[in-house]
């Protein structure tokens, strides 16, 4: 699986080599939360499929539930970390 964010090269097959701490997250089922994630990605006319994933590089540490064994996102967490990634679309 690969991260759907433009310019992000996170891929599950490279996980152990590049960064063993990268995790991949499904898009929320909740319609409003899902829309926030899509808007954050800045991809026009794009809808995630059931296979679409976003990697942990795009979430702030406070988006995660502390103390859990797995990296689990809090309800309402929205990806915000896209600095340094090359975008296909420039926002003006």
Asked which of 42-46, 47-51, 59-63 is least confident by mean pLDDT, the reply is 42-46
- Going by the DSSP 8-state scheme, the letter that residue 82 receives in this structure is -
Summarised one tens digit per residue, pLDDT across range 15-35 is 556 677 889 999 999 999 999
Tokens linked to 71: 């990296």
- Going by the DSSP 8-state scheme, the letter that residue 12 receives in this structure is G
In this prediction, residue 68 carries a pLDDT of 76
Summarised one tens digit per residue, pLDDT across range 48-59 is 999 999 999 999
What is the pLDDT confidence band of residue 44, given thresholds at 50, 70 and 90? Answer: confident
Instruction: Give yes or no for residue 45 having a pLDDT over 70.
Output: yes
Q: What's the CA gap between 14 and 62, in Å, rounded?
A: 25
**Domain boundaries defined on the chain:** 1-92
Q: What's the CA gap between 11 and 52, in Å, rounded?
A: 12
């Amino acid at each position: 699986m690969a991260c759907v964010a433009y310019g992000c090269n996170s891929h599950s097959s490279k996980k152990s080599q590049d960064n063993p701490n990268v995790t991949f997250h499904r898009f929320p089922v909740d319609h409003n939360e899902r829309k926030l994630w899509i808007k954050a990605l800045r991809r026009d006319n794009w809808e995630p499929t059931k296979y679409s994933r976003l990697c942990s590089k795009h979430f702030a540490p406070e988006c995660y539930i502390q103390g859990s064994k797995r990296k689990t996102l809090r309800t309402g967490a929205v990806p915000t970390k896209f600095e340094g990634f090359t975008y296909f679309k420039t926002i003006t």
